[in-house]
Amino acid sequence: MFSSDKLPGAASAVAGVIAIAVFAMVLLRIHDQWGLLALGVIGGIALLLAVRTGAAAHFERAFAAHERLMNGVVVVAFLGVIAVLAKEDFSLLILSTVLLYCVACMGLTVQLGYCGVMNFAGAAFFGAGAYTAAVLGGHTSLPHLLVVLAGGLVAGLLGSVLLLPVLRTRGHYAALITVAFGILFRSFLDVNNTLGGPQGLTVPGMTIFGWSLNQGLAIGGITLSFYVNYALVTLALAIVVYTVTRRLERSWVGMHFDAVRIDELAASTFGLNVQGLKIMAFVIGNVFAGMAGAVFAMMTGFISPTDFDFPTSLVLIAIIMLGGIGNLWGILPAAAFVLILPEKLQAIQEYRFLLYAGAVILVLLYRSAGLFPRRLRRHFPPKAVS
């Protein structure tokens, strides 16, 4: 049906992205439970058909072959979705949350997916950024773009405390360090009254160059939801982080990360600075998580310790696991699945953790590389045949 020896053209990839964007748009707009169910069934059948006829594999190859073009198409698709949802607060909030989780998960991907450094405290670094935003945003007049950066830096610094233990230990012992740190962070927030204790803190909204994001844009007499602003900012953050991560992956550093992950000992015999690379991956990942956390705090306006507890760290891990460890594009559908589904289907909201756990267990048992496994790295982009 679809020949496999020729590289597919861009048209099919664009069509695929448009189809997915339209699906996401409809999904985010429908609130009727029966409508959602019908949409789920339609989506499921479409996905099954796409996989069966080979269209899904075709789309994937077409997407990879024209990545530069497709990056642009995806951004345009996102802008389109935001434009359509421009007056719906809740849908935009979910969309922005998905994007922020994607950013945090890209951080985890650098750590776990590229360099093989375990981190079970993702939510703690996300939280470090969020609390930094709350403190700096509430008590200083630091420009908010710098606050976001500061959130990342604080998370990175906090992670540096763990560098020595993370470097000295391996395997299960290293897992313990981050698990213990995640619990420590949460219980510290719970008992520390200066940071609001269990009641949490309120966070002022974001202002960029005098433009208050909590004020809805008015275009041609129509006032848009102020979440449009946040959706745009989170999209911008996601683009920046994606670009950095992708460049990192394609560079020599990324290659060295892979070597360290696959075999530390072999990597060190080839003269790679294993410790230095691990430090780099760990710090970069935490900075990403921290920046996402800072924007998250300013967007929701309120944070409390429960937002950053151990189960949240597991949700982050579940996302990169479902998406396929190391596969950047896998994160988006996985995050959308994990975050949107329970929000939309009120009937399963209660059962969401049980469902995540079940989904991850099934993936691990039957497809342990994730739903969309990372492909082998290509050193030279192949010539596309249209």
Partner 1 sequence: MDIGFLAQYVLSGIMLGVVYAMVAVGFTLYFGVLDVINFSHGDVLTAGAFVSLATYLGLRATGIDSPVVVLMIMLVVALGSMALLGVLIAKFFVLPLRHAPPFITLLITLMVGIAIRESIRLFYPSGSNPQSFPQLLPKTAYHWGNLIVRQDTLILILTGLAVIALVNLFINHTRAGLAIRAVAQDGETAKVMGINFEWIVLLAFALGSALAALAGVMNGLYYNEVNFGTGLMLGIIGFCAAVVGGLGNIYGAILGGFLFALLQTIVVVAVPSLTAYKDVFAFGVIILLMVIKPTGLIGEVSSERV
Min CB(173)–partner 1 separation in Å? 6
Please select the residue that binds partner 1; options are 173, 211, 270, 302, rule is CB under 8 A.
173
Min CB(169)–partner 1 separation in Å? 5
Q: Which of residues 336-375 bind partner 1 (CB under 8 A)?
A: 350-351, 353-354, 356-358, 360-361, 364-365, 368
Does 31 participate in binding partner 1 (rule CB under 8 A)? no
Judged by beta carbon, residue 120 or residue 288, the one nearer partner 1 is: 120
Contact letters (x/-) for partner 1, 187-226, by CB under 8 A?
xx--x-----------------------------------
Min CB(321)–partner 1 separation in Å? 6
- Rounded to 5 degrees, φ, ψ at 316 are -60, -45
Does 168 participate in binding partner 1 (rule CB under 8 A)? yes
Give the closest residue to 358 by CA, choosing from 376, 379, 337.
Answer: 337
Binding residues for partner 1, how many (CB under 8 A)? 41
Min CB(97)–partner 1 separation in Å? 21
Q: Do 138 and 298 touch, CB atoms closer than 8 A?
A: no
Does 175 participate in binding partner 1 (rule CB under 8 A)? yes
C-alpha pair distances (Å), 49 with each of 9, 111, 209, 300, 323: 21, 35, 48, 39, 20
Q: What value, to the nearest 5°, has the Cα angle with vertex 167 and ends 165 and 169?
A: 65
Min CB(181)–partner 1 separation in Å? 7
Min CB(309)–partner 1 separation in Å? 10
Min CB(184)–partner 1 separation in Å? 4
Does 139 participate in binding partner 1 (rule CB under 8 A)? no
Judged by beta carbon, residue 184 or residue 236, the one nearer partner 1 is: 184
Does 262 participate in binding partner 1 (rule CB under 8 A)? no
- Rounded to 5 degrees, φ, ψ at 342 are -65, -30
Min CB(203)–partner 1 separation in Å? 24
Q: Which of residues 269-328 bind partner 1 (CB under 8 A)?
A: 310-311, 314, 317-318, 321
Does 165 participate in binding partner 1 (rule CB under 8 A)? yes
Residues that bind partner 1 (CB under 8 A): 112, 118, 162, 164-165, 168-173, 175-177, 179-181, 183-184, 187-188, 191, 265, 310-311, 314, 317-318, 321, 350-351, 353-354, 356-358, 360-361, 364-365, 368
